[in-house]
Amino acid sequence: MKALLQRVREARVEIGGELAGAIGPGLLVLVCAEAGDTDAVGERLLAKILKLRIFADEAGKMNRSVQDVGGGLLIVSQFTLAADVRGGNRPSFTGAAPPDEGRRLYDAFVAQARRLHPEVATGRFGADMQVHLLNDGPVTIPIDMR
C-alpha cells in the first residue's frame, strides 16, 4: 500500500456538493491499495502513520505524532498513487488493486484506524471527490510499504 500524508490545519472532502468528512488539525491521508496488498500491509501502514513524528514540539522540532497531538485523520482513497508514467504521457494504473479488492482493503484500513484513533473521517471509495485542505508547513510525506 501507498499513502501520501499531508499535515493540515484543516481538511474536508465533498461529494456532489455535500460534505462527506472533515477534520481540524491532523493528517490528510491519501491511500492506495496495490495489487498483491494484504490486510497486514495496511495494518503496518497505519501503525507507521499513527506514530510518525511530523508535528512540532515546544521547541518547534518535528517530534510528535498525530496521536501525541490529538489530531484528526481524514482518509481518502486515491488509486492514482499507483500511477506508472514511465511508458509515455498517459499514466497506467495497472499496479492498483482491482476495484473490489481495493475497496475491501480501504474499508479494512479505515475500520482499523477507527479502532486505534479517536477522530477519523473519510471520503467515499470510488467517488468523484473534491478535497479541500490547508496544508500546514507545508509537510507532505510519501509512504510506500513495499
Beta-bridge partners for 7: 27
User: Model-level pTM?
Assistant: 0.96
Q: What is the pLDDT confidence band of residue 129, given thresholds at 50, 70 and 90?
A: very high
Which one from 38, 55, 67, 78 is the annotated catalytic residue?
Answer: 78
> Domain map of the chain by residue range?
2-87+94-139
Whether 78 is catalytic is yes
Residue of 23, 24, 73, 25 lying closest to 48 (CA atoms)? 73
pLDDT digits (tens, 9 = 90+) for 72-88: 999 999 999 999 999 99
Cell of residue 90, nine digits: 498517459
Kindly name the residue from 79, 109, 122, 125 that is annotated as catalytic: 79
CATH 3.90.1150.10 fits domain 2-87+94-139: no
User: Measured between alpha carbons, how far is 79 from 91 in angstroms, rounded to an integer?
Assistant: 12
pLDDT given for residue 146 in this prediction: 85
At residue 114's C-alpha, the angle toward residues 64 and 81, to 5°, is 75
For residue 80, indicate whether it is catalytic.
yes
pLDDT for 117 equals 98
Are 42 and 108 in contact by the 8 Å Cβ rule? The answer is: yes
